[in-house]
Amino acid sequence: MNPLSRRQFLERMGAAGFGALASSALGAWNLEAPENPLAVYPDRGWEKVYRDLWRVDSTFTFLCAPNDTHNCLLKAHVRNGVITRIGPSMRYGEAEDLYGNRTTHRWDPRVCQKGLALTRRFYGDRRISGCRVRAGFKKWVEDGFPRGENGRPPKEYFNRGRDEWVKVSHDKAAELVAAALENIAATYSGEEGRKRLLAQGYDEATVETLGGAGVRTLKFRGGMPLLGMTRVLGFYRMANSMALLDAHIRKVSPEQASGAKGFDNYSWHTDLPPGHPMVTGQQTIEFDLACVEHAQTVVVWGMNWITTKMPDAHWLTEARLKGTKVVVIACEYSATATKGDQVLVVRPGTTPALALGLCHVLLRDRLYDETYVKRWTDLPLLVRMDTLKLLRAEEVFGSAPAPLANATRVLAKGEKEPPPGTHREMLIPGEMRREWGDAVWWDRNAGLPRPVTRDEVGERSSVGDALLEGRVEVRLKDGSRVTCRPVFDLVKEYAAHFTPEATEALTWAPAQAVESLARNLAAAPGTTLFAVGMGPNQFFNNDNKDRAVFLLAALTGNVGKIGGNVGSFAGNHRVALFNGAPQYINENPFDLELDPAKPARIRQYWRPESAHYYNHEDHPLRVGNRLLTGKTHMPSPTKSLWFANANSILGNVKWHYNTVVNVLPRIEMIAVNEWWWSTSCEWADVVFGVDSWAELKHPDMTASVTNPFLCVFPRTPLRRVFETLGDVEVLALVGKKLAERTGDRRFADVWAFVNQGRTDAYLQRILDHSSNTKGYRFSELEARASQGIPALLNSRTSPKAVGYDQIADNRPWYTKTGRLEFYREEDEFIEAGENLPVHREPVDSTFHEPNVIVAPPHEALRPAGPEAYGVAKDDLSCETRCGRNVVLSWRETKASRHPLRAKGYGFVFHTPKYRHGAHTTPIDTDMVAVLFGPFGDIYRRDKRNPFVTEGYVDVNPADARELGIEDGDYVWVDGDPEDRPFRGWQKNEKDYRFARLLCRARYYPGTPRGVTRMWFNMYGTTPGSQEGQRTRPDGLAKNPRTNYQAMFRSGSHQSATRGWLKPTLMTDSLVRKNLFGQGIGKGFLPDVHCPTGAPREAFVKITRAEKGGIGGEGLWRPADLGIRPTYESEAMKIYLAGSFVTRRDGEERP
Partner 1 sequence: MKPFRLVLWMSLTVLLAACGQGPQTSPAEVTALSAGTLPLDPADVAWRKVPVHPARLIPQDLVEPRLLRPTTAEVRVRALARGGEMAFLLEWDDPTADDLPGAARFSDACAVQMPVQTSADLPAPQMGETSRAVSITYWRASWQAEADGRGDTIRDLYPNASVDHYPFEAAPLAGDEAARREAALRYAPARALGNAMEGGRSTPVQDLLAEGPGTLTPAPVQESRGKGIRTKTGWAVVLVRKLPEGPPVGGRFQAAFAVWQGSEQEVGSRKMRTGWIPVNLEKAS
Partner 2 sequence: MSRVFNWQIGREMAYWYPESRPRKQFAAVFDINKCIACQTCTLACKTTWTSGKGQEYMLWNNVESKPFGFFPLRWDLKLLEMLGAQRWEGRVYAGQTLFEAAPAGERVLGWRPQDEDYAYPNVGEDDCAGGVEGGTSLRVPHLSWFFYLPRICNHCTYPACLASCPRGSIYKRPEDGIVLLDQSRCRGYRECVKACPYKKVFFNPMTGTSEKCIACFPKIETGLVPQCFANCIGKIRLAGFVSTPENARPENPVDYLVHVRKIALPLFPQFGLEPNVYYIPPVHAPKRFLEQMFGPGAGAAVAAYLKAPDDPDLAGLLGLFGSTERLIPRWKRQGETVFGLEEGGGEILRVPLREPVHVRMALDSKLGVARTNCP
> Which residues form the interface with partner 1 (CB under 8 A)?
1, 3-6, 9, 12-13, 16-21, 24, 30-33, 46, 49-50, 52-53, 79-82, 84, 119-120, 122-125, 127, 719, 721-722, 925-927, 938-941, 943, 945, 947-948, 1033-1036
943's CB contacts (< 8 A; 6+ apart) are 1034, 1035, 1111
- Closest approach, Cβ 635 to partner 1, in A, equals 39
**CA 970 vs CA 804, 811, 964, 1036, 1115: distances in Å:** 51, 57, 12, 17, 11
DSSP class per residue in 1106-1131: E-SSGGG-SS-HHHHTT-STT---HH
Quick one: what does residue 1123 bind among partner 1, partner 2, none, with the CB cut-off 5 to 8 Å set by partner type?
A: partner 2
What whole-number distance in Å separates Cα of residue 1038 and Cα of residue 1051?
A: 14
8's CB contacts (< 8 A; 6+ apart) are none
Nearest CA among 361, 322, 362, 355 for reference residue 341? 322
- Closest approach, Cβ 645 to partner 2, in A, equals 22
Quick one: what does residue 19 bind among partner 2, partner 1, none, with the CB cut-off 5 to 8 Å set by partner type?
A: partner 1
Quick one: what does residue 803 bind among partner 1, partner 2, none, with the CB cut-off 5 to 8 Å set by partner type?
A: partner 2
Query: Which residue, 830 or 928, has its beta carbon nearer to partner 2?
Result: 928
What whole-number distance in Å separates Cα of residue 752 and Cα of residue 600?
A: 13
- Closest approach, Cβ 510 to partner 2, in A, equals 5
- Closest approach, Cβ 12 to partner 1, in A, equals 6
Rg of the chain over all Cα atoms, to the nearest angstrom: 31
Q: What is the DSSP letter of 427?
A: E
Query: Which residue, 97 or 727, has its beta carbon nearer to partner 2?
Result: 97
Residues composing the chain:
1150
Quick one: what does residue 957 bind among partner 2, partner 1, none, with the CB cut-off 5 to 8 Å set by partner type?
A: partner 2
Query: Which residue, 334 or 544, has its beta carbon nearer to partner 2?
Result: 334
What whole-number distance in Å separates Cα of residue 726 and Cα of residue 689?
A: 9
What whole-number distance in Å separates Cα of residue 451 and Cα of residue 462?
A: 9
DSSP class per residue in 279-307: HHSSS---B-GGGGGG-SEEEEES--HHH
Nearest CA among 232, 250, 1025 for reference residue 642? 232
Query: Which residue, 486 or 922, has its beta carbon nearer to partner 2?
Result: 922
Query: Which residue, 691 or 749, has its beta carbon nearer to partner 1?
Result: 691
Query: Which residue, 31 or 594, has its beta carbon nearer to partner 1?
Result: 31
Give the chain's end-to-end CA distance (angstroms, integer): 77
Quick one: what does residue 1145 bind among partner 1, partner 2, none, with the CB cut-off 5 to 8 Å set by partner type?
A: partner 2
Strand partners, 854: 839, 888
DSSP class per residue in 236-269: HHHHHHHHHHHHHHH---TTT----EEE-STTTT
- Closest approach, Cβ 794 to partner 2, in A, equals 5
Phi-psi region of 392 (alpha: psi -120 to 50; beta: other; left: phi over 0): beta
What whole-number distance in Å separates Cα of residue 609 and Cα of residue 668?
A: 19
- Closest approach, Cβ 1112 to partner 2, in A, equals 16
Quick one: what does residue 801 bind among partner 2, partner 1, none, with the CB cut-off 5 to 8 Å set by partner type?
A: partner 2
Quick one: what does residue 947 bind among partner 2, partner 1, none, with the CB cut-off 5 to 8 Å set by partner type?
A: partner 1
**CA 444 vs CA 88, 212, 347: distances in Å:** 61, 59, 42
Query: Which residue, 114 or 1089, has its beta carbon nearer to partner 1?
Result: 114
Query: Which residue, 124 or 419, has its beta carbon nearer to partner 1?
Result: 124
Quick one: what does residue 722 bind among partner 2, partner 1, none, with the CB cut-off 5 to 8 Å set by partner type?
A: partner 1
Query: Which residue, 360 or 1124, has its beta carbon nearer to partner 2?
Result: 1124
- Closest approach, Cβ 1116 to partner 1, in A, equals 17
Quick one: what does residue 420 bind among partner 2, partner 1, none, with the CB cut-off 5 to 8 Å set by partner type?
A: partner 2
What order do you get walking across the sheet with 165-168 strand by strand?
165-168, 131-134, 686-689, 669-674, 640-644, 218-222, 261-263, 607-609
Query: Which residue, 207 or 1047, has its beta carbon nearer to partner 2?
Result: 1047
Nearest CA among 1092, 1075, 71 for reference residue 577? 1075
- Closest approach, Cβ 663 to partner 1, in A, equals 32
- Closest approach, Cβ 50 to partner 1, in A, equals 7
- Closest approach, Cβ 341 to partner 2, in A, equals 6
- Closest approach, Cβ 4 to partner 1, in A, equals 6
Query: Which residue, 124 or 1006, has its beta carbon nearer to partner 1?
Result: 124
**CA 512 vs CA 302, 451, 564: distances in Å:** 20, 41, 24
Helix (H/G/I), strand (E/B), else coil: 820:
strand
Quick one: what does residue 1149 bind among partner 1, partner 2, none, with the CB cut-off 5 to 8 Å set by partner type?
A: partner 2
- Closest approach, Cβ 1117 to partner 1, in A, equals 14
Helix (H/G/I), strand (E/B), else coil: 209:
coil
- Closest approach, Cβ 117 to partner 1, in A, equals 9
Q: What is the DSSP letter of 932?
A: S
Query: Which residue, 771 or 1067, has its beta carbon nearer to partner 2?
Result: 771
Quick one: what does residue 39 bind among partner 2, partner 1, none, with the CB cut-off 5 to 8 Å set by partner type?
A: partner 2
Query: Which residue, 144 or 1138, has its beta carbon nearer to partner 2?
Result: 1138
902 neighbors 1026 (Cβ within 8 angstroms): no
- Closest approach, Cβ 62 to partner 2, in A, equals 15
- Closest approach, Cβ 25 to partner 1, in A, equals 9
Query: Which residue, 887 or 929, has its beta carbon nearer to partner 1?
Result: 929
Query: Which residue, 251 or 1149, has its beta carbon nearer to partner 2?
Result: 1149
- Closest approach, Cβ 284 to partner 2, in A, equals 9
Query: Which residue, 719 or 1144, has its beta carbon nearer to partner 2?
Result: 1144
Quick one: what does residue 321 bind among partner 2, partner 1, none, with the CB cut-off 5 to 8 Å set by partner type?
A: partner 2
Quick one: what does residue 1034 bind among partner 1, partner 2, none, with the CB cut-off 5 to 8 Å set by partner type?
A: partner 1
What whole-number distance in Å separates Cα of residue 20 and Cα of residue 387?
A: 103
Quick one: what does residue 721 bind among partner 1, partner 2, none, with the CB cut-off 5 to 8 Å set by partner type?
A: partner 1
- Closest approach, Cβ 597 to partner 2, in A, equals 18
Quick one: what does residue 508 bind among partner 2, partner 1, none, with the CB cut-off 5 to 8 Å set by partner type?
A: partner 2
Q: Cβ–Cβ contacts within 10 Å for residue 552, how many? A: 26
What whole-number distance in Å separates Cα of residue 1011 and Cα of residue 332?
A: 9
Quick one: what does residue 82 bind among partner 1, partner 2, none, with the CB cut-off 5 to 8 Å set by partner type?
A: partner 1
Query: Which residue, 52 or 874, has its beta carbon nearer to partner 1?
Result: 52
How many Cα atoms are found within 13 Å in the side-chain-facing hemisphere of 1077?
20
Quick one: what does residue 547 bind among partner 1, partner 2, none, with the CB cut-off 5 to 8 Å set by partner type?
A: none
Q: Cβ–Cβ contacts within 10 Å for residue 28, how many? A: 11
How many Cα atoms are found within 13 Å in the side-chain-facing hemisphere of 56?
15
The DSSP H or E segment spanning 436 is helix 430-436
Inter-axis angle of helices 135-142 and 170-187, nearest 10 = 60
